[in-house]
Amino acid sequence: MFQQIHTLILKELTLEWRQKYALNGILLYVVSAVFITYLSVGAKQGNIGVPTWNALYWIIILFSAVNAVAKSFVQEHQGRQLYYYMVASPEAIIVSKIIYNSILTLVLALLGYLVFSIILGNPVQDQGLFLLNLILGSLGFSACLTMVSGIASKASNNATLMAILSFPVIIPILLMTIRVSKNAIDGLDWSVSVDKVITLLAINAIISATAYILFPYLWRS
């Protein structure tokens, strides 16, 4: 099982590295999205309020994550899926995809953070909490989006489906991350955010566990 997960993650990384255009495309997506936001709000550095900064940042991360993770099942050939079906257990596949997508989402979030800091200013006072929140948020996003991408790949018209299926499900995670990140930006004491971080962890656990249990049924069809 662990051997399979390890191999599958390595396979994802190799594939991504070989088709660099997909990875570069999504990285460019983040940068362009941030730049469009910057021009649209007409903000100069430090000119934009903290709640707005926070909300814009998370919305951009959400949309980039949806785009990045959408391809995990949708863009794979039927033949290749059949091959995985024969060589690996569905549990190993979903776990490896979730881990790989978390790494991808985290990279996107960090890149977004970097670009945001350069052009819109960096109001974050508690870097540690902000980064912890980014890691937890990426985990939750990727668990939810990977599962939904698996569901959407079974239906036609999957770009729209991906969005409408994932947004309502992802909102609890998004709300919690936005709140924690607001606390981190304001540099509040950790004790204020502890219960929210725990709730976020619990929601992540529920979503991941459900995905883990349900994916075999999806995979078999």
Partner 1 sequence: MKSSWWKILTIVLLAYTIIAGLLLDVPRLPILNETIRALYFHVTMWFGMIIMLVVAVIYSIKFLRTNDLRNDDIAIEFTNAAILFGVLGIVTGMLWAKFTWGDYWSGDPKQNASAIGLLMYFAYLILRNSLTDVHQRARIGAVYNIFAFAAFIPLIFVLPRLTDSLHPGNGGNPGFNAYDMDSNLRQVFYPAVIAWTLLGTWLSVVRVKLKRAERKIEDRLINQL
For 108, residues 6+ apart whose C-beta sits below 8 A from its C-beta are: 26, 27, 30, 61, 64, 65, 68
Cα→Cα distances 79→84, 174, 197, Å: 9, 35, 41
# of chain residues touching partner 1 (CB under 8 A): 31
Which of 1, 171, 192, 194 binds partner 1 (CB under 8 A)? It is 171
- 93 forms part of the interface with partner 1 (CB under 8 A): no
Closer to partner 1 by Cβ: residue 31 or 214 = 214
- 144 forms part of the interface with partner 1 (CB under 8 A): yes
Tokens describing residue 9: 């993650």
Q: CA 30, CA 159: separation in Å to the nearest integer?
A: 18
Q: CA 94, CA 58: separation in Å to the nearest integer?
A: 25
Per-residue binding string, partner 1, 95-134, x by CB under 8 A, is ----------------------------------------
How many beta carbons lie within 10 A of that of residue 10, not counting itself? 12
- 218 forms part of the interface with partner 1 (CB under 8 A): yes
- 199 forms part of the interface with partner 1 (CB under 8 A): yes
- 71 forms part of the interface with partner 1 (CB under 8 A): no
CB 98 within 8 A of CB 215: no
- 151 forms part of the interface with partner 1 (CB under 8 A): yes
- 88 forms part of the interface with partner 1 (CB under 8 A): no
